[in-house]
């Protein structure tokens, strides 16, 4: 367990943090319910309904259906800054294998029309619970702050479509311009720890779907075919050279082929193959070079195989760099250290994961700050980091990923509340 927070907050505000004790049983129930009932991107109808009802109950002006399933709540409390607090809501097409007594058994149809299991494998159930808690605490303590709280429950972060959908639905015109945009995410750090990074905090990500064309034939007569399975396999292997041979050692990138599909029968050579791939980078010049290299290799492998026509490319998703404004980050971190002390709020390296959170700050041209909350048992984390197999520790998007409930639940509430108070002063 973590040591108690060492607050330097005024007693009036410290008393609000003390109310979290009484709120914890209700928050546990909310979290468990959300974990059991995950919903896929742009299908978060139940989750959005829970968030909207909660906001309405606590005096927020509620705007449901923003960007299809997004929810925006406004709590106006006199003149002062406007702070945007964001939580993403969607689950993932993953079959849960955590063994939790409240593990998800939900199924659905994903954006590609496939029947899939659904799991909160990225902690968005925590994110929603945290924001709900902070909204309640601030609503019940309006004598401790002035300004406007804008609570944003965002859909479809996992596909990179949610923030864009909300913005395209008129967020900038419909709602007041925030002073700052704040968000947080649970990750494999020791539970109870908060991590921050000024400047570039998370990578840009580009996801493509590529269709390769061949010529089908009987499995016994490969000479009559142009085999797209071989074409796709050669492409996947050659793509591994992009990072190892075309990206400088001082730079970094990731090229991942997450889907390869072709054919249905062992004795039929199909006529098409499909690849879905993901590219992550930290610099725009590196991004442009890697994207160009990936396209060049795919087209060249198709030509080398004698494909009857060039590959078809389509964009599945696109995530911007997550950039934390340095001055806003320093202010937010100072506020969190005022509650937690410096030993629990620590600087971390930029993450190779990606987020669409930054689009809100960009759209309004205001600073953004995005930080991370540890959710891994400290002993498990230490063993993984000190051992020979760090991959044995479940991470986000794993079917085994299950952040520990305590103290993760409390820490996320306290961190967002401390950050909010920093800007509402």
Residue-level pLDDT at 84 = 98
- Please write the tens of the pLDDT for every residue from 173-214: 999 999 999 999 999 999 999 999 999 999 999 999 999 999
Q: How far apart are CA 358 and CA 167, in angstroms?
A: 12
Q: Which residue has the higher pLDDT, 392 or 292?
A: 292
User: Where do the H-state alpha helices sit in 142-256?
Assistant: 162-168, 171-174, 228-246
Assess contact for 93 and 115: CB atoms under 8 A.
no
What percent of the chain is modeled with pLDDT above 90? 93
Question: For the whole prediction, is pTM greater than 0.85?
Answer: yes
404 pLDDT higher than 70: yes
Q: Is the pLDDT reported for residue 111 higher than 80?
A: yes
Q: Does the pLDDT value for residue 139 go beyond 70? A: yes
pLDDT of residue 11: 80
Element (H, E) at 23: helix 20-36
Write the DSSP symbol of residue 2. Answer: P
pLDDT tens-digit series, residues 320-365? 999 999 999 999 999 999 999 889 999 999 999 999 999 999 999 9
Question: What angle do helix axes 405-424 and 20-36 make, rounded to 10 degrees?
Answer: 120
Q: Give pLDDT, residue 386.
A: 85
**pLDDT tens, position by position, 151-167:** 999 999 999 999 999 99
Summarised one tens digit per residue, pLDDT across range 57-101 is 999 999 999 999 999 999 999 999 999 999 999 999 999 999 999
31 C-beta neighbours (distance < 10 Å), count: 22
Q: How far apart are CA 92 and CA 113, in angstroms?
A: 14
For residue 304, the model assigns a pLDDT of 98
Instruction: Give the pLDDT band (50/70/90) at residue 390.
Output: low
Q: Please state whether the peptide bond connecting residue 112 to the residue before it is cis, i.e. omega within 30 degrees of 0.
A: no
* Rounded CA separation 195/198 (Å): 11
SS3 (DSSP) at 310: coil
The pLDDT of residue 425 = 74
The mean pLDDT of the chain is 96
Residue 1 has a pLDDT of 43
DSSP track, 390-422: GGGS--TT-TT----HHHHHHHHHHHHHHHHHH
Strand partners, 324: 199
pLDDT tens column, 17-52: 999 999 999 999 999 999 999 999 999 999 999 999
Q: Is 367 helix (H, G, I), strand (E, B) or coil?
A: coil
Which residue would you say has higher pLDDT here, 133 or 12? 133
Q: β-strand 82-88 against 147-154: which pairing, if any?
A: parallel
In the chain, what are the helix, strand and coil shares in percent, each to the nearest 5? Answer: 40, 25, 35
Overall residue count recorded for the chain in this entry: 425
């Amino acid at each position: 367990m973590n040591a108690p927070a060492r607050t330097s907050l005024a007693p009036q505000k410290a008393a609000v943090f003390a109310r979290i004790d009484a709120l914890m049983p209700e928050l546990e129930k909310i979290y468990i319910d959300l974990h059991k009932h995950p919903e896929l991107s742009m299908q978060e109808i139940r989750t959005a309904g829970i968030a909207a009802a909660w906001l309405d109950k606590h005096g927020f002006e509620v705007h449901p259906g923003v960007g299809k399933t997004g929810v925006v709540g406004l709590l106006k409390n006199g003149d002062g800054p406007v702070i945007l607090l964001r939580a993403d809501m969607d689950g993932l097409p993953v079959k849960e294998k955590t063994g939790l007594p409240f593990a998800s058994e939900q199924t659905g149809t994903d954006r590609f029309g496939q029947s899939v299991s659904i799991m909160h494998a990225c902690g968005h159930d925590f994110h929603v619970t945290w924001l709900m808690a902070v909204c309640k605490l601030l609503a019940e303590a309006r004598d401790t702050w002035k300004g406007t709280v804008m609570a944003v429950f965002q859909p479809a972060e996992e596909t990179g479509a949610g923030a864009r959908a909300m913005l395209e639905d008129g967020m900038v015109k419909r709602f007041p311009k925030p002073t700052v945009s704040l968000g947080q995410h649970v990750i494999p750090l020791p539970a109870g720890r908060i991590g921050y990074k000024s400047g570039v905090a998370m990578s840009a990500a580009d996801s493509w779907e590529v269709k390769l064309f061949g010529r089908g034939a009987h499995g016994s007569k490969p000479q009559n075919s142009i085999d797209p399975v071989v074409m796709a396999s050669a492409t996947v292997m050659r793509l591994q050279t992009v990072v190892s041979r075309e990206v400088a050692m001082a730079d970094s990138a990731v090229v991942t082929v997450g889907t390869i599909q072709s054919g249905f029968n062992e004795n039929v050579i199909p006529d098409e193959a499909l690849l879905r791939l993901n590219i992550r980078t930290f610099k725009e010049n590196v991004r442009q070079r890697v994207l160009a290299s990936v396209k060049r290799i795919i087209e060249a492998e198709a030509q080398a195989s004698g494909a009857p026509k060039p590959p078809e490319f389509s964009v599945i998703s696109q995530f911007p760099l997550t950039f934390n404004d340095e001055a806003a980050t320093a202010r937010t971190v100072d506020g969190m250290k005022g509650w937690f002390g410096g030993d629990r709020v620590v600087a971390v390296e930029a993450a190779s994961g990606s987020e669409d959170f930054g689009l809100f700050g960009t759209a309004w041209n205001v600073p953004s700050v995005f930080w991370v909350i540890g959710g891994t048992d400290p002993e498990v984390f230490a063993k993984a980091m000190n051992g020979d197999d760090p991959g044995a520790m479940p991470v986000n998007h794993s079917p085994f990923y299950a952040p520990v409930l305590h103290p993760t639940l409390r820490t996320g509430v306290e961190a967002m509340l401390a950050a909010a108070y920093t800007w509402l002063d």
